[in-house]
Chains A and B, each alone.
Chain A
Amino acid sequence: MIAFVIRRLLLGLVTVWLISVLSFAIIQLPPGDFVSAYIAQQAASGSPVSAEAADAMRQEYGLGRPFYVQYGKWLGRILHGNLGESMEWRRPVSEVIGDRIWLTLLLSFAALVITWGLALPIGIYSAVRQYSWGDYLFTLVGFIGIAVPNFLLALIVMYFAFRLFGASVGGLFSSEMMLAPWGWPKFWDLMKHLPLPAIILALGGTAQLIRIMRANLLDELRRPYVVTARAKGLSETKVILKYPVRAALNPFASNIAYLFPYLVSGSIIISIVLGLPTVGPLLVKALVAQDMFLAGAIVLLLGVMTVIGTFISDLVLMWVEPRLRHQMD
């Protein structure tokens, strides 16, 4: 069991490391070095950088030295909590990102909860009542969920909300709450705005998980241990919920681990369509404007968050699977 946790932890660290290399590569990719880009931009905006300051910057970032030295210096600064400076906003990256990273996390997590909350009961229903009208209906909805990419779904929902209610459904806050300081009213406002984007984000994953749950449960329902449980005189509900559902949960739970990165990815796109104050729109803007420290920091933060989410999913998986617990002892 401890071996399993350690293995997962190590894997998570390797993933974080790889993501950090990729993030740094992304920062490095645009032609020319970013100090020159910064100097040019500062000059263009009327506050030129002196030659000494420019040299000091080159020294600090290790420009002209090999990739790994530059990477090391960058990583060192990150570990000290310095994510660098956003060129476009002329403010530290951490300030620019601010709440947005938590809102991204919140949105993804809400979508994860909705995915579970919908997929589990619907999957059970569809398997137990196989070929019923409800099953066909959910299968149909499921296929739509799979076939409509979530940015398209967001577009369509937005269009119809506009046509039917004349209202814009975007955003996570109402306009008067946007700049308000955090407090219960603002939190409550967020809770009112969160469900719609979270549901849009959750639909694709939900559809997939329903299919997985249904197929697994149909498999498990045919197993002899279900007959054993019936032969004990348990009620049908108890039989199904205690035994086959429990067994079907297992592959279901291992899929959760891959669901989280998928949701984080999706949140970026739907945030842009729905105008949500997450890191999504910021990332795209930063990339278009080649504001590379900001973009690199966002990619890195999203990666780290995903790894943490995946690690937590793994712990949950271990908790639901006695066989795994015992094998690892």
Chain B
Amino acid sequence: MAEPILKVRNLQTRFFGTEGIVRAVDGVDFDVFEGRTLGVVGESGCGKSVTARSILRIVDRPGRVVGGEVWLKRAGGGPAVDIAKFTEAQMRDIRGPEIALVFQEPMASFSQHYTIGNQIVEGIRLHMGLDAPAARKRAIELLDMVGVPQPARRVDDYPFQLSGGLRQRVMIAMALACDPRILIADEPTTALDVTTQAQILDLLRSLQAERGLAIILITHDMGVIAEMAHDVSVMYLGRAVESGPVAEMFARPQHPYTRALLRSIPTVMAKPRTRLPTIAGSIPHPFNRPAGCAYNPRCAEIMGEICGQAEPPQVDTPQGHVRCFLHGGAP
């Protein structure tokens, strides 16, 4: 396989709150390839969204990226560079033209005080150096590309004048404004109804096919993963516990957590009137991170004392990587 366009290694982000430090992202590794989609999946609060923001270093206070490497192959070619070591000014050239973000709540993620055209144009003018009329023309083209009807008129609308689905299309147009090669979509369909959801996913797929976009798709929905992703990374409490190609993972999940997640998807094949299996317990409070493997208190396949004592290292499997003593790595 080709060299990844984005290589994340041991990424760590902490929140320095008044009541203690929360390790929101605690050593995440993954690779993203051109023209492929990496699905990042996990329950709410496992650190998916923070991971996305940590890559671009736009984590809100009191959060801060404290360690790790983010190797990016830049548009101009040449060897990959570690953007984790970039200055704030250098990072601003990455945000938009290299890596762009699409957010979960299209309503809240737009300012209600400016037209959508205004909000799309500013990135274009900043990074591509176009003048106002040219930038506006490009904004209209982008709106047309993502399937906004009557883009020349819509460009002067305010976000509150658009429907939810349209808003998400505009958000994607805004993300693509400066031709990024990596698109991070943070739960892009969660706030939408099912039909609109499907349309937005279709749009993302066709954009990927046209432009060879690398997409990091963050979701809690295994169904979306199955439909969209080429590779999957399963996160639990700030760590990637298993990663690999999507077909392999759905066929032969390695980590007990992945297995549990897959079991809890409703299917048409299930016997009617039976209870859907759920994962016992809930995600522990971030201040009370369990010792050893963070998943051990809820694990159905717990091996014994070792799970509560040591953190399982990453082990290579034929399909990918996993962090679980079931697959070796025990001291």
Q: Is B112 a contact of A322 with CB atoms below 8 Å?
A: yes
Contact across chains for A235 and B92 when beta carbons are under 8 A apart? yes
Contact A233/B92 with A227-B53, A323-B160 known, Cβ cut-off 8 Å: yes
- Chain A residues contacting B112 (CB-CB under 8 Å) are 247, 322-323
For residue B223, give the distance in angstroms from its CB to the closest CB of chain A: 24
- Number of interchain pairs (Cβ within 8 Å): 81
Kindly list chain A residues whose C-beta atoms are within 8 Å of the C-beta of B97: 233
Report whether over half of chain A's contact residues are helix, strand or loop; otherwise say mixed. helix
Shortest Cβ distance from A128 into chain B, in angstroms? 10
Q: Are B103 and A227 in contact (CB-based, < 8 A)?
A: yes
A243 touches B127 (CB 8 A): no
Assess A323 versus B158: contact at CB under 8 Å? Given A228-B110, A235-B92, A243-B111: yes
A235 to B174, CA, bound (A): 17
Given pairs A242-B111, A322-B114, 16 additional interface contacts (CB within 8 A): A222-B60, A224-B108, A225-B109, A225-B111, A228-B101, A228-B103, A228-B109, A228-B110, A230-B95, A231-B100, A232-B96, A233-B91, A233-B94, A233-B95, A247-B112, A322-B112
Min distance, Cβ A218 to any Cβ of chain B, angstroms: 11
Tell me the complex Cα distance, A235–B89, Å.
8
Which residues of chain B are near A7, meaning CB under 8 Å? none
**Residues of chain B from 74 to 109 with CB closer than 8 A to chain A in the complex:** 88, 91-97, 100-101, 103-105, 108-109
For residue B278, CB closer than 8 A to chain A, the reply is no
Instruction: Determine if B127 and A233 form an interchain contact, defined as CB atoms under 8 angstroms apart.
Output: yes
Q: Min CB distance, B72 to chain A, in Å?
A: 14
What B residues does A228 contact at CB under 8 A? 101, 103, 109-111, 171, 174
Give a binary string over A281-308; 1 marks a CB under 8 Å from any B CB, 0 the rest: 0000000000000000000000000000
Contact A246 B56 (CB under 8 A): no
Number of interface residues of A (CB under 8 A): 22
A234 to B92, CA, bound (A): 7
Assess whether A90 is interfacial by the CB under 8 Å rule.
no
For residue B312, CB closer than 8 A to chain A, the reply is: no
**Interface membership of chain B positions 147-172, coded 1 if the CB is closer than 8 angstroms to chain A and 0 otherwise:** 00000000000101100000000010
Chain A residue at minimal CB-CB distance from B93: A233
B158 (CB) vs chain A CBs: closest residue: A322
In the complex, the answer to whether A232 meets B123 with C-beta atoms within 8 Å is: yes
Say yes or no for A223: interface residue by CB 8 A criterion. yes
Q: What is the 8 Å Cβ interface bit string for chain B, positions 125-158, against chain A (1 contact, 0 not)? A: 0110000000000000000000000000000001
What residues on B are CB-neighbors of A234 within 8 Å?
92, 122-123, 126
B58 on interface, CB distance cutoff 8 Å: yes
Contacts of A235 in B (CB 8 A): 92
CB distance from A249 to the nearest CB of B (A): 9
